[in-house]
Amino acid sequence: MYNAKRAVNLSRPGPIDPTTDLLSDRASRDGALDVSLVIPLYNECESLPELAARITDVLAGVTEHWEAWFIDDGSDDGSAEAIETLHRADARVKLIRFRRNYGKSAALAVGFEHAQGAYVITMDADLQDAPEEIPHLIAKIDEGYDMVSGWKKKRYDPISKTIPSKFFNFVTGKMSGIDLHDFNCGLKAYRRVVIKSVHVYGEMHRYIPVLAKQSGFTVAELAVEHHPRKYGTTKFGLSRFFKGFLDLLTVMFTSRYTQRPLHVFGTIGTVMLLLGMGINVALTVEWIMGRPVSNRPLLFLGILLMLVGIQLISTGLLAEMITKREHTTTDYLIRDTLS
Ligand code: UDP
Ligand code: MG
83 ligand 1 Cβ < 6 A: no
Label each residue of the chain as H, E or C.
CCCHHHHCCCCCCCCCCHHHCCCHHHHHHHCCCCEEEEEEECCCCCCHHHHHHHHHHHHHCCCCCEEEEEEECCCCCCHHHHHHHHHHHCCCEEEEECCCCCCHHHHHHHHHHHCCCCEEEECCCCCCECHHHHHHHHHHHHCCCCEEEEEECCCCCCHHHHHHHHHHHHHHHHHHCCCCCCCCCCCEEEEHHHHHHCCCCCCHHHHHHHHHHHCCCCEEEEEECECCCCCCCCCCCCHHHHHHHHHHHHHHHHHHHCCCHHHHHHHHHHHHHHHHHHHHHHHHHHHHCCCCCCCCHHHHHHHHHHHHHHHHHHHHHHHHHHHHHHCCHHHCCCCCCCC
Strands 35-41 and 188-191: unpaired
pLDDT over 50 (residue 305): yes
The rounded mean pLDDT for the chain is: 90
- Ligand that lies nearest to the alpha carbon of residue 48, given by its number in the listed order: 1
How is the chain split into domains, by residue range? 4-257, 261-326
The span from the CA of 302 to the CA of 261, in Å, is 25
Query: Atom 22 of ligand 1 has which residue's CA nearest to it?
Result: 234
Q: What's the pLDDT band for 334 if we cut at 50, 70, 90?
A: confident
Q: What's the pLDDT band for 10 if we cut at 50, 70, 90?
A: low
The span from the CA of 25 to the CA of 22, in Å, is 8
Distance 178 CA to ligand 2 centre (A): 24
pTM here is: 0.84
CATH (residue range 4-257): 3.90.550.10
Query: Atom 13 of ligand 1 has which residue's CA nearest to it?
Result: 124
pLDDT over 50 (residue 55): yes
Distance 42 CA to ligand 1 centre (A): 6
pLDDT over 50 (residue 64): yes
42 ligand 1 Cβ < 6 A: yes
Query: Atom 23 of ligand 1 has which residue's CA nearest to it?
Result: 234
Q: Which of 125-139, 151-165, 273-287 has the lowest mean pLDDT?
A: 151-165
The arithmetic mean of pLDDT across residues 178-199, rounded, is: 96
Q: What is the pLDDT of residue 30?
A: 54
Q: What is the pLDDT of residue 338?
A: 87
Q: What is the pLDDT of residue 280?
A: 97
Distance 234 CA to ligand 2 centre (A): 6
Task: Decide which of 331 and 309 is more confident.
Answer: 309
- Ligand 1 atom, smallest distance to 126 CA: 15
pLDDT over 70 (residue 261): yes
- CB 259 within 8 Å of CB 328: no
Task: Decide which of 16 and 242 is more confident.
Answer: 242
- Ligand 1 atom, smallest distance to 123 CA: 15
101 ligand 1 Cβ < 6 A: yes
The span from the CA of 312 to the CA of 302, in Å, is 15
40 ligand 1 Cβ < 6 A: yes
Q: What's the pLDDT band for 23 if we cut at 50, 70, 90?
A: very low
125 ligand 1 Cβ < 6 A: yes
